[in-house]
Amino acid sequence: MTSLSSVSTFLDLLRWRAQEKPDHATYLYLEDGEHREVPLTNHELDIKARAIAAKLQSLVKSGDRALLLFPAGLSYLTAFYGCMYAGVVAVPAYPPNRASLQKNLPRLMSIIEDAQASVVLCNTDIHGMAASLFENQYGGGPHFIPTDQLSDEWAYDWTEPHVKADDIAFLQYTSGSTGQPKGVILNHHNILDNSERISRRFGIHANSVVVSWLPPYHDMGLIGGLLQPLYSGIRVILMSPFSFLRKPMRWLRTISQYGATCSGGPNFAYELCLQKATEKDLAMLDLSSWESAFNGAEPISSQTLDRFADAFSICGFQRDALYPVYGMAEATLMVTGGDPEDSHAAVPFDEEKLEEHRAIRCDRVNGHRTLVGCGHALEEHVLEVVDPQSEAPCPNGNIGEIWVSGPSIAQGYFNQEALTERVFGAELGAYPGRKFLRTGDLGFLFEDQLYVTGRLKDLIIIRGRNYYPHDLERTVEYCHPAIRPGCAAAFSIEVDREEQLVLVQEIQRKCDPAELPRVIEHIRRTISEQFEVRTYAIALIRQGTIPKTSSGKIRRSFTRHLFLEDKLEVIGKDVLQSDEVSHGYAECEELAAKLRDELDPIVRRAQLIRIVTEILRAQPGLGKAKITPHTSLSTLGIDSVMATEMANQIENFLNVDLQVVMLLEGPKVADIAEEIQNLKWPPDGGMMNAHQDAPDRYASLFARKERGTRRRLRQRALS
C-alpha cells in the first residue's frame, strides 16, 4: 500500500499508518483528564493489536464475535483493533462498574446472546468482578481474556487474516434497550466511506488536532473520536467521559492547551460548560484554534449555541466554528452537515404551523420556534423527507420521516432479517433499485438544510443516551403493588433547553391516597437505580384513564400532549422544580470550617450529614426536597451529572475524593457521611486526602458490596 486510496479495510489502514509513520502518536490519553499524558504511537498500537489478535486466533475463528468490556482508554482501543487484526467482529459495550454490576448483567447477557459472542475482552479488574458472576448467575458464559495480562510477544504468533471491504468490522448495539438489543452491522467499507465524508465536511487538514471525551462505545465517540483521526493521519487527545463530567472545563482547557481544531459533543456538554465557566477560566482559555465545534446526538438548542458563542468569544472562539450535525449508528455516524465554509443556520418558524407538520418561516415574535439546521446530505448519498403514511416524498417545508441511502448506510441488524428489511429496505419510485434507511426521525428540508423536529418512534434521548419507553415502563411495573402493569407511558419533554424524562402511571382504585407519595418514591428510585437517569416528573392517574389504541397499545404521544395540557386525571404528582433558586454552598463552607477542629467522631458524623444534605439541596430541583439521614440518593433521582457535581463539592469542602460510582448506587445520606468519615479519619488514626490512590481507599467498600452480591446470588440459587 502506498496511499490512502489503496486501503480497503481498517486493518490495511492501521498496517499502512504503522509503516508510513511508525513514531507518530495518533493517540494521546489523559489519564487524569488533565496532566498525565499516555501517548500511543502507530507502531506500538500495531504491536499490541497483533498480540491481542494472535490470542484471539488461538481461541476463535475469523468472523466470530468478541464483546469488549473496558473503561474508556487505550486498552479499549488496542482491543478494538486487535479484533480487526484477527478478523473477529468487535462488539463494544458499556463496561460495568462495581456499583452497578448486578443490574448491568442482564443487559450484557442479552447482547452476548444476540451477538452470539464466544469471548469477552476486558481488563483484569473487570475480569475479576464479572467472570464469576456470569458463571454463578447464568451457569456459564463466554471465555474472558484480560488483555492487560498479554505479553507483546504474542505479536510474533499473529497470522494476517484475509479480510475484505464487505466483511463485518463491528456490531454497534444501540444503547438503552435491555429486552430487544439491536446490533447494527457495519462493514469496513461503511466506516472507511463515512470517515472520508467526515474528513471532507469537517475540513480536516494535516495540522488538525481532535479532542474527544465522548464514550468510545458508540458511534460519535468511536467513529469520530477514535477511527477518524487514524483515517486522516492526525492526532487526537482523549479523556474519559467521567473526567469531563467531573470537571467539564477540562474539555475546553484541553482544546486550549493542545490547540485543537475539532471537538464537540451533545448539546448538554455545551450547557455544562456555560454553567461551570468562571471569570478565571475565561481569562486563561484560548479557543481561537477551534475550527469545528460539532453539536449532535440529541436535540440542538439555538439558545445554547448563541449563549456559548457569546460567552466564549472573549477566549477567541469564533461563532462560525459552531457545526450542528445529524447522524446515527445505522448510517455509521454522519448523515448531514454543512460545508467547511458554511455558517450554521438558525431559523424561526411558526409554532402553530409546525404542529400541523408544515414549516413556515416567520419573524422572531411570539408563537415562533427557532430550529437549527443540520446541513445537507453527504456526497454520494440521497436524503428524502417522506410522508410516513403514503411513503411519498414530502414537498420542501413539510414535515415527514427522514430517509437516507448511500454507501455509509449499515448492512442491517445482526440476525434480525425481518427488522432489517423493514428499516433498511424502504424504496422510493424516483430511485429505482435503491434501498433507503428509515431513520425514525421527523424533519423537513428548507433552503437546502435539514431540520430535525422530533421522533416518529418513541425513543427517548437524554444527554446523548438512548432510553426505550417500554424498558422504563416495564421496570416500574412491580416496584409497588398499587401500580397497574401495562398502564404506563414514558416520554420526554423539553425543560430549560434540555430533554427531561416523564412517567405517567395508572394506579389501582383501591390504593390509599396516603400511599401515593410512597408509590412516587418507589418509581423514582427504581428508574434511578436501573437506568441512572433522573425522572423529572411522575404523574399517577386514575385506573382506566391512560390513552390506548383500540388494540390496547399505549398512546404515548397523546399522553404526552395531555400531560403538557394538564388534562390527565391525576391523583398524585411530583415534579422537580427546575426554577428553584439554590441557596448555594454557603452553609457548607461554614460547617466544613468547624469540622477541621472537631475531635468527637459522633459530632463529626452529624456535621458530615448536614454537609451532604446541604450539597444535595443545592442540586437542581432538590431545594425543597425532604431530606433526612435515611433518604437514599436513588429516591431523589440522582443522575450521573448530579452525582459528579456532588463528588466535586465533597472534594472541594472536605478534601475527600468520593467515587462517583458509589453515589450512583443510591446510598443513604448517613451512609455517605460514614464513608467520608472513614476516608478522612480512618480507624488507624491517619488522615487521607483527595490525592491518594482511589482503588486502595475503596477496596474495603467494594469488597463489602461484592460479598453482598454473592450472598444474594446464593440466596437466589437456593430459593
| Pair 194, 223: CB distance under 8 Å | yes
What is the residue range of 565's domain?
460-575
DSSP state string for 119-160: EEEE-HHHHHHHHHHHHHHHS--PEEEEGGG--GGGGGG---
678 and 651 part of one domain: yes
| Pair 428, 443: CB distance under 8 Å | no
Distances (CA, A) of 660 to 102, 287, 478: 17, 29, 28
Segment 165-215, tens digit of pLDDT: 999 999 999 754 445 789 999 999 999 999 999 999 999 999 999 999 999
pLDDT of the residue at 454? 83
441 and 466 part of one domain: no
Q: Please name which of 219, 232, 229, 138 lies closest in space to residue 184, comparing C-alpha atoms.
A: 219
| Pair 415, 171: CB distance under 8 Å | no
Residues of the chain with pLDDT under 50: 176-178, 579-582, 687-719
What CA–CA distance (Å, rounded) separates 59 from 148?
Answer: 17
Cell output for 558: 397523546
Boundary of a domain, candidates 520, 553, 575: 575
211 and 100 part of one domain: yes
Boundary of a domain, candidates 413, 430, 455: 455
DSSP state string for 61-110: -TT-EEEEE--SSHHHHHHHHHHHHHT-EEEE-PPP-TTTHHHHHHHHHH
433 and 503 part of one domain: no
Cell output for 627: 431530606
Q: Residue 248 domain-assigned?
A: no
Q: Please name which of 101, 89, 93 lies closest in space to residue 69, comparing C-alpha atoms.
A: 93
Helix axes 669-680, 640-654, angle to 10 degrees: 40
Cell output for 625: 426536597
553 and 415 part of one domain: no
What CA–CA distance (Å, rounded) separates 639 from 565?
Answer: 27
| Pair 480, 522: CB distance under 8 Å | yes
pLDDT of the residue at 708? 44
Helix axes 101-115, 124-138, angle to 10 degrees: 80
Strands 119-122 and 143-146, how do they pair? parallel
Q: How far apart are the first and last CA of the chain?
A: 62
176 and 73 part of one domain: yes
Cell output for 585: 454552598
| Pair 73, 131: CB distance under 8 Å | no
pLDDT of the residue at 378? 98
What CA–CA distance (Å, rounded) separates 540 from 549?
Answer: 20
pLDDT of the residue at 203? 96
Q: Residue 96 domain-assigned?
A: yes
64 and 198 part of one domain: yes
pLDDT of the residue at 690? 41
pLDDT of the residue at 707? 41
Q: Residue 686 domain-assigned?
A: yes
Count of positions (residues) in the chain: 719
468 and 602 part of one domain: no
Q: Please name which of 171, 227, 231 lies closest in space to residue 411, comparing C-alpha atoms.
A: 171
Q: Residue 331 domain-assigned?
A: no
Torsions phi, psi of 644, nearest 5?
Answer: -70, -35
Q: Residue 269 domain-assigned?
A: no
Q: Please name which of 439, 441, 466 lies closest in space to residue 456, comparing C-alpha atoms.
A: 441
What CA–CA distance (Å, rounded) separates 201 from 638?
Answer: 38
| Pair 50, 79: CB distance under 8 Å | no
Q: Where are the alpha helices (DSSP H) in 179-318?
A: 188-201, 219, 228-232, 241-246, 249-258, 267-276, 279-284, 302-311
Q: Please name which of 415, 402, 411, 10 lies closest in space to residue 191, comparing C-alpha atoms.
A: 10
* CATH at 405: 2.30.38.10
610 and 647 part of one domain: yes
536 and 557 part of one domain: yes
| Pair 208, 227: CB distance under 8 Å | no
Q: Residue 662 domain-assigned?
A: yes
pLDDT of the residue at 498? 83
* CATH at 184: 3.40.50.12780
| Pair 345, 372: CB distance under 8 Å | yes
Tell me the β-bridge partners of 79: none
pLDDT of the residue at 584? 64
Q: Residue 354 domain-assigned?
A: yes
Cell output for 47: 504491536
Look up residue 414 and give its DSSP letter: T
What residues contact 681, with CB distance under 8 A and at least 6 apart?
601, 604, 687
* CATH at 529: 3.30.300.30
60 and 124 part of one domain: yes
* CATH at 619: 1.10.1200.10
Four-point Cα dihedral 338, 175, 499, 563, nearest 10: 130
504 and 434 part of one domain: no
Distances (CA, A) of 135 to 68, 91, 109, 147, 437: 18, 20, 11, 20, 39
Q: What is the number of structural domains in the chain?
A: 4
Three-state DSSP at 355 gives: helix
Q: Residue 333 domain-assigned?
A: no
Boundary of a domain, candidates 431, 455, 479: 455
pLDDT of the residue at 74? 98
What CA–CA distance (Å, rounded) separates 225 from 209?
Answer: 11
